[in-house]
């Protein structure tokens, strides 16, 4: 997504935040976060629980006042004109819910009315979205009878109802099965194609990889890395060597064998009996490791080289950080 | 202002839908008031003596006030539930009026109370209660009950936005509302109470509300001595004064609390 197909304001950035800071008592939730989201693009805010993602979204959606910093959404200042900002955004996520005792239609109609639409227009729009999300058959059932995935779709529909130019999606697919997740991704992509700017928080690296043009990795309230998914992968460089062992008992022995070849943190997955190491020179390392392993009689199921994933990026970034903290 | 009324109507409409779908609402609004009338009429009805009168007739006004005062807790638990479920966050992210959520809630609770009062009136009529005053007086009595309950809803709205979970509401309100509705003339004439309790009962707005309603319904026996305490002598005015005071003080507080409530 390069240029905005549809832009409701002349600015280059749909979301701009400078130095956002928020403390709760002694805990720093946000520590000077800067964000710039070009109009029509998707920003992925990636980080573990408690990293400050939801706090950032809460500030940008006017739910929370920052202790310091400024923010503009669709060109409007969040602190001085919150009510105008609210008419330009849609929010969906873990903490912005729908009424489980109301039907899908009733929920969406209510949200439409509260955006200032006329009741009939709100109902028409609600029905369109319900059809689009393939929920027509369940439209007149209270949401408490819905599955998690269906409920999330209604939640997202609520955010889309007034066609806001900027969407904030706070962990939109947390807790969903892969199929529901894929369906939600399709809907989000569709909106982005129509020119909507999206800020998306997620704990799933795959989600950021799939949807976001730019990713900001946050930890302890500030950005520890930013760039496209490609750039982030390139940053940690090289390739990864994955070794699947036949017997999990060999894991620690293998770790010792491969240590000299690793250029970063070695990742060990006990359940999968997998050892994953970042290496500088792929093929060379692969050959040497195989020789060592067979010399020591370690039985392997599979061994292979792969390009780094966002998972590796994240492990690498936060791994370094926590080591710094300890020293 | 127009957008405030429109948004509050949308919220109130949503709350009205819930009355049909949420069994607890039904129980609270319809079953419980019905039970109170029947229980008090048959359990205490025979053993409490009102000089020159009929206890059932004396009692009904007390049950009405007790029910509408307790009915106001619905405002608190409803808002607390909206906070807990994350609906308040949804509302706060929408370009709607800042006071509409609480205003819509207190308005729909008037409708809940109206339903309760209708049920109780019918049950009352069935156990022998009669309106002995004029129609106009009866209408004034009903309006006073609803208005007082409405004003009390604003106090409860503040509570609902402060408590961590809806469950806390019932415990917190019980401690306050139980003495408030019992240290009063709701179930027994206040002059039967000892010393300090009598004074408290006389100045308790629940007493004056009950008294005003009882008088308007013509349910006070003719030989009842005229009250000596000023609030009871001016029961209507005193109750209205309280109601207006509660709204003036608590409505702005509730709106402020709403703006800073919500999960992060």
Looking at residue B108, its pLDDT comes to: 93
What was the pLDDT predicted at A9? 53
Record: contact A142-B21, CB cut-off 8 A: yes
Question: Is there a contact between A55 and B92 if contact means CB atoms under 8 Å apart?
Answer: no
User: Where are the domain boundaries for CATH 3.40.50.300 in chain A?
Assistant: 13-233
Average pLDDT, chain A: 84
Question: How many CB atoms neighbour CB A3 within 10 A?
Answer: 10
Cβ of residue B92 closer than 8 Å to a chain A Cβ: yes
Q: Name the minimum distance, in Å, from the CA of A314 to any CA of chain B.
A: 24
The confidence score (pLDDT) of residue B51 equals 72
> DSSP H helical segments within chain B, as ranges?
2-21, 23-26, 32-39, 55-71, 73-85, 87-92, 100-126, 135-162, 166-182, 195-203, 205-217, 230-233, 235-260
Comparing B86 with B150, which gets the higher pLDDT?
Answer: B150
What's the fold here for domain A13-233? Rossmann fold (3.40.50)
**pLDDT over threshold 70, residue B230:** yes
**pLDDT value at position A1?**
39
C-alpha R_g of chain A: 23
Provide the pLDDT for residue A237: 63
- Tell me how far apart the alpha carbons of residues A226 and A206 are, in angstroms, rounded to a whole number: 16
- Judge contact between B186 and B209, C-beta under 8 A: no
> Is A114 in CB contact (< 8 Å) with chain B?
yes
What local confidence, expressed as pLDDT, does residue A96 receive? 57
- Provide the pLDDT for residue B62: 92
| pLDDT value of residue A319 | 63
B32 has a chain A CB within 8 A of its CB = no
Question: CB contact, 8 Å: A273 with chain B?
Answer: no
Mean predicted confidence (pLDDT) in B240-256: 96
Token pair listed for A40: 């029509």
- The C-alpha of A226 sits at a distance from chain B's nearest C-alpha, in angstroms, of 24
Which of B94, B76, B235 has its CA nearest to residue B166? B76
Number of domains within chain B: 1
Nearest CA in chain B to A156: B90
* Per-residue confidence (pLDDT) for residue A326, from 0 to 100: 31
The tens digit of pLDDT for each residue in A131-184 reads 988 899 999 999 989 988 888 889 999 999 999 999 999 998 887 888 888 888
In DSSP terms, A244 is beta-bridged to: A274, A302
Question: In the predicted model, is pLDDT for residue B14 greater than 80?
Answer: yes
CATH number for the region A238-307 comes to 3.30.70.100
Question: What average pLDDT does this structure show over B247-256?
Answer: 96
Reading the block at residue A214, the tokens are 């730019």
Residues of chain B with Cβ-Cβ distance to A143 below 8 Å are none
pLDDT per position as a tens digit, B23-47? 877 788 888 889 988 888 888 777 7
pLDDT of residue A71: 97
Q: Mean per-residue pLDDT for A275-286?
A: 78
Pick from B106, B93, B84: nearest CA to B11: B106
Whether residue A113 and residue B6 make contact (CB cut-off 8 A), yes or no, is yes
Contact A221, A31 (CB under 8 A): yes
Residues of chain A with CATH 3.30.70.100: 238-307
- Averaged pLDDT of chain B: 90
| Closest in B14, B17, B87 to A97, CB measured | B87
What angle, 0 to 180 degrees and rounded to 10, lies between the N-to-C axes of helices B135-162 and B205-217? 160
| CB contacts, 8 Å: A161 with chain B | none
The residues, any chain, with a CB within 8 Å of residue B247's CB and separated by 6 or more, are B150, B151, B154
Q: Of A167, A159, A133, which is closest to residue A6 (Cα–Cα)? A: A167
Residue of A nearest to B16 (CA): A102
Q: Is the pLDDT of residue A324 over 60?
A: no
Top-confidence residue, A25 or A87: A87
Please check whether residue B20 touches A, CB under 8 A: no
The tokens for A320 are 């370094």
Select from B11, B90, B100, B259 the residue whose CB has the most chain A CBs within 10 Å, as the one to mutate to test that interface: B90
Closest approach of chain B CAs to the CA of A224, in angstroms? 22
Shortest distance, CA A96 to any CA of chain B (angstroms): 5
- Give residue A277's pLDDT: 82
Q: Is the dihedral of CA A246, A251, A255, A257 positive or negative?
A: negative
What phi, psi does A216 have (nearest 5°)?
Answer: -115, 120
pLDDT of residue A325: 35
| More confident call, A178 vs A121 | A121
Would you call B259 an interface residue with chain A, using a CB distance cutoff of 8 Å? no
Q: How confident is the model at residue A236 (pLDDT cuts 50, 70, 90)?
A: low
pLDDT-derived band at A321, boundaries 50, 70, 90? very low
Q: pLDDT tens digits, residue range A40-77?
A: 999 999 888 788 999 999 999 999 999 999 999 999 99
- In angstroms, the CA A171 to CA A54 distance is 9
Is the predicted pLDDT of residue A205 greater than 50, yes or no? Answer: yes
Residue span of the structural domain in which B169 resides = 2-260
In this structure, of A131-135, A258-262, B121-125, the range with the lowest mean pLDDT score is: A258-262
Contact B119/B30 with Cβ under 8 angstroms?
A: yes
Residues A306-316 have pLDDT tens digits of 777 766 777 77
């Amino acid at each position: 997504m390069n240029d905005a197909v549809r832009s409701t304001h002349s600015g280059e950035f749909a979301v701009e935040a400078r130095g956002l800071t928020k403390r709760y008592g002694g805990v720093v939730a946000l520590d000077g976060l800067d964000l710039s989201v070009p109009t029509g693009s998707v920003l992925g805010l990636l980080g573990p629980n408690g990293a400050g993602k939801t706090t950032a979204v809460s500030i940008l959606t006017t739910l929370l006042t920052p202790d310091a910093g400024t923010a503009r959404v669709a060109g409007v200042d969040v602190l001085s004109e919150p009510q105008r900002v609210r008419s330009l955004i849609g929010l969906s996520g873990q903490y912005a819910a729908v009424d489980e005792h109301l039907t899908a239609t009733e929920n969406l109609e209510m949200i439409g009315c509260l955006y200032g639409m006329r009741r009939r227009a709100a109902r028409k729009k609600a029905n369109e979205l319900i059809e689009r999300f393939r929920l027509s058959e369940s439209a007149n059932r209270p949401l408490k009878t819905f599955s998690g995935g269906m409920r999330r779709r209604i939640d997202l529909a609520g955010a889309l109802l007034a066609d806001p130019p900027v969407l904030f999606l706070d962990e939109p697919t947390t807790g969903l099965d892969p199929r529901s997740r894929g369906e939600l991704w399709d809907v989000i992509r569709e909106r982005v194609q129509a020119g909507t700017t999206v800020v998306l928080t997620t704990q799933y690296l795959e989600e950021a990889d799939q949807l976001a043009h730019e990713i900001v990795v946050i930890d302890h309230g500030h950005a520890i890395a930013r760039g496209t998914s490609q750039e982030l992968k390139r940053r940690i460089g090289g390739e990864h060597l994955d070794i699947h062992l036949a017997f999990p008992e060999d894991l620690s022995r293998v770790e010792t064998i491969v240590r000299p070849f690793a250029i970063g943190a070695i990742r060990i997955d006990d359940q999968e009996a997998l050892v994953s190491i970042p290496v500088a020179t792929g093929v060379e390392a692969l050959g040497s490791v195989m020789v060592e392993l067979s010399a020591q009689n370690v039985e392997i199921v599979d061994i292979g080289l792969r390009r780094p994933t966002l998972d590796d990026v994240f492990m690498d970034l936060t791994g370094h950080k926590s080591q710094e903290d300890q020293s | 202002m127009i957008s405030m009324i429109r948004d509050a109507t949308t919220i109130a409409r949503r709350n009205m839908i819930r009355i049909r779908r949420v069994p607890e609402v039904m129980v609270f609004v319809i079953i419980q008031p019905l039970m109170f009338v029947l229980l008090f009429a048959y359990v205490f009805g025979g053993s409490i003596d009102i000089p020159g009168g009929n206890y059932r007739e004396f009692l009904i006004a007390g049950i009405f006030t007790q029910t509408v005062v307790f009915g106001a807790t619905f405002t608190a638990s409803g808002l607390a539930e909206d906070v807990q479920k994350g609906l308040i966050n949804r509302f706060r992210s929408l370009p709607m009026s800042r006071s509409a959520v609480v205003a819509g809630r207190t308005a729909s609770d008037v409708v809940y109370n109206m339903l309760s009062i209708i049920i109780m009136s019918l049950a009352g009529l069935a156990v022998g209660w009669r309106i002995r005053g004029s129609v106009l007086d009866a209408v004034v009595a009903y309006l006073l009950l609803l208005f007082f309950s409405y004003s009390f809803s604003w106090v409860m709205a503040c509570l609902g936005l402060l408590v961590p979970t809806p469950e806390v509401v019932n415990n917190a309100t019980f401690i306050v509302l139980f003495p408030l509705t019992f240290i009063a003339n709701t179930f027994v004439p206040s002059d039967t109470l000892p010393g300090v309790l009598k004074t408290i009962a006389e100045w308790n707005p629940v007493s004056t509300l009950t008294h005003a309603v009882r008088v308007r319904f013509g349910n006070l026996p003719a030989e009842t001595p005229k009250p000596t305490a000023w609030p009871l002598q001016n029961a209507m005015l005193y109750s209205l004064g309280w109601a207006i005071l509660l709204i003036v003080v608590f409505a702005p507080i509730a709106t402020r609390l709403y703006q800073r409530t919500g999960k992060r």
